[in-house]
Copies of this chain bind each other. A is one copy, B any other.
Amino acid sequence: MFFSSGKQQVYQLFFIQIVLIIVMGALMTYGPEANVNLLKNRTGEHGRKHIKKPDTNPLLVYPMYQDVHVMIWIGFGFLMTFLRRYGQSAVGLTFLLGAILVQVAIICEGVMNIQKDNKSYLSLRSLLSADVAVATPLISMGALLGKTTYMQLVFMGIVELIMFTVNKYVGEHLLMTVDAGDSMFVHTFGAYFGLAISFVFGMKEKRKEHHLEGPSYNSDIFAMIGTIFLWLFWPSFNSAALEGDDQQRAIINTLLSISASCVIAFATSALVSKDSKFNMVHIQNSTLAGGVAIGTAAGMMCQPVGTLIVGALAGLLSVLGYKYITPLIQKHLKIHDTCGVHNLHGMPGILGGIFGALMAALATEASYDYSLYEIFPARAPNSETKLAEMRDNYGISAGLNRTAGQQAAYQLLALVITLGIAIVSGLITGLIMRVLICGSISEEQKFDDEAHWELEEESLQGSKIKESNSCSNDQLPMGHM
């Protein structure tokens, strides 16, 4: 086995950034909106009209991009600060990982979109896609939080983004399925990829309670910063890639779904907890399940009642998962899931994929009008006669003439393929992470910021005193508050 020392990990980190610079230099350039030369060429023909349409002013998507940006770094980063002695690592490693992976994601997308001049184009849209992609490995990180070195996470993230890109290409381009809010491609994929790694990590060791694996009073409040920013900006996450009426629906649907999941998560939490009190773990996570579950169908005509129901179900499922399923998985499958990503992203993601397939099965031209073919391009007619008017008026392209049922079947197929790719590639990644190159964390270092951070004498004393047997022994925990 080749465990790398701390110094080696540092060199690896420098090396990765240098490689990213070289690859980015070879591959990427500014896209038309950021390059007058390209813009002039494009507008010379038919592009000008497109550019002038007020809806496509590239700045209109910028606020949504920044909302997603906040979700990734503040949302994920602070959500994971709930551990009493791992807050700096939660927010710090999210920061580092995000900064590396956003570059990796830009390159992955760039590779899929190489232009005639052998370059790929950077635009606000590609930055947005990259942010969304980065959410995937950060979800996986939630399953592993506190149990890895930073280089293990970086390695995992790079591999995962490659597999994510492959899976998304299969789902979006080959199968022509829809996943506006990425219930399948981001949430389901990220959760099961991370759980598969956790399975590999758990195979050998004997699991026991770790004294640092719990919150403190203040760490629970820090975590709420993450929760609430995620909850607030989720409509942006689910709608940023859409346009027109689809986008408006996605905003409305996500708000309703995530509101219902919040209420039901509170209610279910009190139902399953002793003395009918709320449990912070549920509130920090399950309140968000409605955003995950409405993802695939976000742009569809779910109607308010449909979106509220799916949100409520997701909140219920998620809390029940924390209460009953996570302990089972840990006991029988030896899968330890630090943040419970199975309950926030895994199951609600699957629910979202299935709900999306259901809505696809119900979609008719009567209810969607031409918007049907904007949402489901594969359902557009392929015969010139039927297409002509819609193409001229609304810019609809020829499709595959799929029926509603066919589209629904493809949606389910994409979900199954996502699960398959996530689990298999996660297992392999986990095996490599265990034996190779990126170091590892010992049992005592787990869930402890000391593994990553040069802490001040002063801020360490809390944990030092832990080991002492002084008269003030019973106050130890205060050091973590």
A residues apposed to B, CB below 8 Å: 5-7, 9-10, 13-14, 16-17, 20-22, 24-25, 28-31, 33-37, 39-40, 52, 54-55, 57-60, 62-64, 66-67, 69-70, 73-74, 77-78, 81, 84, 87-88, 91-92, 95-96, 99-100, 102-103, 122-124, 127, 214-218, 220-222, 224-225, 227-229, 231-233, 236, 245, 247-249, 251-252, 255-256, 258-260, 262-264, 266-267, 270-271, 273-280, 283, 287, 301, 303-305, 308-309, 312, 367-371, 449, 452-456, 458-459, 461-462, 465, 468, 470-472, 474-475, 477-481
CB distance from A273 to the nearest CB of B (A): 5
Contacts A88-B220, A462-B481 known; A245 to B13 CB distance under 8 Å? no
Contact between chains at B370 and A36 (CB < 8 Å): yes
Contact between chains at A287 and B255 (CB < 8 Å): no
Contacts A99-B259, A221-B87 known; A453 to B277 CB distance under 8 Å? yes
Contact partner, A248, options B58, B214, B308, Cβ 8 Å: B58
Contact partner, A40, options B74, B77, B247, B369, Cβ 8 Å: B369
Contact between chains at B54 and A278 (CB < 8 Å): no
Contact between chains at A308 and B20 (CB < 8 Å): yes
23 contacts across the A-B interface (CB closer than 8 A): A20-B260, A21-B260, A25-B304, A30-B248, A34-B249, A36-B245, A54-B54, A60-B60, A62-B63, A74-B225, A74-B229, A88-B220, A95-B228, A122-B252, A127-B252, A215-B456, A216-B456, A220-B459, A277-B453, A458-B477, A465-B475, A465-B478, A470-B472
Q: Which 4 A-B pairs have the closest CB atoms?
A: A6-B276, A25-B305, A34-B248, A99-B262
Residues of B within 8 A of A280 (CB): 88, 92, 453-454
Contacts A454-B275, A471-B471 known; A305 to B21 CB distance under 8 Å? yes
Contacts A233-B66, A475-B472 known; A262 to B95 CB distance under 8 Å? yes
Contacts A5-B276, A263-B99 known; A271 to B215 CB distance under 8 Å? no
Residues of B within 8 A of A233 (CB): 66
**A256, B465: Cα distance in complex, Å:** 43
Secondary structure class of chain A's binding surface, majority of residues: helix
Which residue of B is nearest A126, CB measured?
A: B252
CB distance from A208 to the nearest CB of B (A): 17
Contact between chains at A77 and B228 (CB < 8 Å): yes
Residues of B within 8 A of A455 (CB): 217
Contact between chains at B73 and A29 (CB < 8 Å): no
Residues of B within 8 A of A17 (CB): 260, 263-264, 267, 312
Contact between chains at A251 and B57 (CB < 8 Å): no
Apart from the given pairs A70-B232, A279-B454, A461-B475, 15 other A-B contacts in the complex at a CB distance below 8 Å = A6-B276, A14-B264, A21-B312, A28-B304, A29-B304, A40-B369, A63-B66, A66-B67, A88-B221, A96-B263, A99-B260, A217-B455, A225-B225, A478-B479, A478-B481
Which residue of B is nearest A53, CB measured?
A: B54
CB distance from A389 to the nearest CB of B (A): 13
Residues of B within 8 A of A367 (CB): 37
Which residue of B is nearest A247, CB measured?
A: B59
Residues of B within 8 A of A259 (CB): 99-100, 102-103
Which residue, of A91, A124, A225, A259, has the highest number of chain B Cβ atoms within 10 A?
Answer: A259
Contact between chains at A236 and B66 (CB < 8 Å): yes
**A176, B102: Cα distance in complex, Å:** 36
Contact between chains at B228 and A277 (CB < 8 Å): no
Residues of B within 8 A of A96 (CB): 262-263, 266
Which residue of B is nearest A394, CB measured?
A: B36
**A35, B273: Cα distance in complex, Å:** 42
**A81, B228: Cα distance in complex, Å:** 14
Residues of B within 8 A of A22 (CB): 305
Contacts A17-B263, A74-B229, A453-B280 known; A461 to B479 CB distance under 8 Å? no
CB distance from A119 to the nearest CB of B (A): 10
